[in-house]
Structure 1
Amino acid sequence: MHKASDLIKKAKRTLFLTSAGMSADSNIPTFRDKDGYWRNFPPFKEKNLEAQDLASPWAFRNELPHAWAFYEWRRRNAQENQPHEGYRIINKWLQDWFEDGFIHTTNTDGLHLRSGCPEDRILEVHGSMWRLQCLNTCTYQFWEDLSVPL
């Protein structure tokens, strides 16, 4: 562990890749694990849907009440849970050691930003459940909506 730490500290540029496991440690369910969203959202069973189905533009066109309910459920869960210590550690490393460091995450829950990560140091590659956009491309602008409930 110390050798890895020393190598990391000597790096000039660092890319942190985070995904569902990072959020899971803050009690945010993943999509696919045994206790994940796809098993615990009741309408999935009724409609024979998977989490990926409702986390898509298709759902907002074809299953609108379920899509909004799913996002509301996820947003409430994210708001009720706090970023764990690992987020603080990554932020500290970005601040203290990695002037050119960057985070690439597949998470949409916004925990990196809530933990204090600067917006210019992160790419939320799947977007954010906190930023909305018109479904029919009425504009290419996104707007932030942190309200819960929606």
Structure 2
Amino acid sequence: MKFSSKNYLTRLIFLIQNFFIDNMNLQRKIETAAKWIYNSDNLVVFTGAGISTTSGLPDYRGPDGVWTRRDKGLPPPKMKLSWDEVKPNRGHFAIVELLELGKLDYLISQNVDGLHAKSGIPFDKMSELHGNMYFMKCLKCNGKITFEDAGWDKKVWGKGYRTDPVHQNQPKCPICGGRLISSIVNFGDPLPEDELTEAIKRSQNADVFFVIGSSLVVSPAANMPAIAQRNGSKLIILNLGETPYDKRADLRFFQDINEVLIPIVARVKNLLDKS
């Protein structure tokens, strides 16, 4: 087959035109999201594993995610960094900036990596529905304490899961003497009741509900967008993979998180500076 410079040029022009059209559409959507957030009184952000991939952590249903590899009969992806080296990324700090701008009402997260707290989100502004790997909780008084402050040595006492055997001399809650377990929610464990209740309440009051980096398939956490929409909230979804809520979303972004979230926050700040 002969090479046709005319066909090549036509194809190239088509690709360039579509690139600019797609980029213009993306910019319009970013502008719309920013205006919604700017006008919002009760913005709720909901995050999944996707927001932490830039920090070196695997997600679950991405191309090389934990569940994706499991379904292919492959072992889990290897950590690129040690846990001591894992730090919050620009996406985490963009959410902190929304809080500092007075636009974030509440954060709901499915992540256990503790990066939102490390980035500066206060615990009273956040529900970590699946727990936090750095914290234990008391089964009696529901108090929280870090493994370090509890004096819990994982080499001696194990990971502290609910189903682990109880040792006679293992550390107890310093407040009430109750049993301490890891705050991480494993399969079959109930979600933390107080944080779930608060997450539902904030979702009901949301006027903009912004999903970032979640496939929205793990319930009951994944029910939050529906709760928000039933009460009149706009729904924005930013996730590379598909979700069950894609057709219900008022704005849907399939781009990389930082490609969208960073300019949205910058535009919100610009709107606030002008007001």
TM-score in terms of structure 1 length: 0.62
Tell me whether 1:20 sits opposite 2:49 in the alignment.
yes
How far 1:33 sits from its partner (Å)? 4.1
Q: For the pair shown, which has the larger CA radius of gyration, 1 or 2?
A: 2
Q: Distance in 2 between matches of 1:10 and 1:138?
A: 42
Which runs of structure 2 are paired with 1:84-95 in the superposition (5 Å)? Answer: 84-95=89-100
Per the alignment, residue 124 of structure 2 pairs with 120
CA RMSD after TM alignment: 3.4
The answer to whether the 8 A contact 1:108-1:129 is kept is yes
Per the alignment, residue 97 of structure 1 pairs with 102
Tell me whether 1:143 sits opposite 2:168 in the alignment.
no
RCO (CA 8 Å, sep 6+): is it higher in 1 or 2? Answer: 1
Structure 1 residues 21 and 139, CA gap change in structure 2 (3 angstroms): same
Could you tell me which amino acid in structure 1 is paired with residue 146 of structure 2? E
Could you tell me which amino acid in structure 2 is paired with residue 13 of structure 1? N
Paired residue secondary structure (1:24): helix
The answer to whether the 8 A contact 1:26-1:83 is kept is yes
Per the alignment, residue 54 of structure 1 pairs with none
**Deviation per residue, 1:81-106 (Å, 9 max, x gap):** 211111111111112132x6100000
Between the two proteins, the alignment pairs up a number of residues equal to 117
Structure 1 residues 3 and 143, CA gap change in structure 2 (3 angstroms): same
How far 1:14 sits from its partner (Å)? 0.7
Structure 1 residues 106 and 143, CA gap change in structure 2 (3 angstroms): same
Q: Distance in 2 between matches of 1:114 and 1:146?
A: 16
Per the alignment, residue 3 of structure 1 pairs with 32
Structure 1 residues 119 and 142, CA gap change in structure 2 (3 angstroms): closer
Gaps of 5+ in 2: 1-29, 155-275
Paired residue secondary structure (2:51): helix
Q: Distance in 1 between matches of 2:111 and 2:125?
A: 15
Structure 1 residues 94 and 138, CA gap change in structure 2 (3 angstroms): closer
How far 1:138 sits from its partner (Å)? 7.2
Per the alignment, residue 107 of structure 1 pairs with 111
**Deviation per residue, 1:26-73 (Å, 9 max, x gap):** 111124545345659xxx96xxxx8xxxxxxxxxxxxxxxxxxxxxx9
Structure 1 residues 85 and 7, CA gap change in structure 2 (3 angstroms): same
Structure 1 residues 97 and 131, CA gap change in structure 2 (3 angstroms): same
How far 1:146 sits from its partner (Å)? 5.3
Gaps of 5+ in 1: 51-72
Structure 1 residues 106 and 113, CA gap change in structure 2 (3 angstroms): same
Q: Distance in 2 between matches of 1:77 and 1:138?
A: 33
How far 1:140 sits from its partner (Å)? 4.4
Q: Distance in 1 between matches of 2:141 and 2:40?
A: 41
Q: Distance in 1 between matches of 2:60 and 2:33?
A: 30
The answer to whether the 8 A contact 1:28-1:77 is kept is no
Q: Distance in 1 between matches of 2:109 and 2:127?
A: 6
- Runs of 4+ residues over 3 Å off in structure 1: 31-40, 137-142
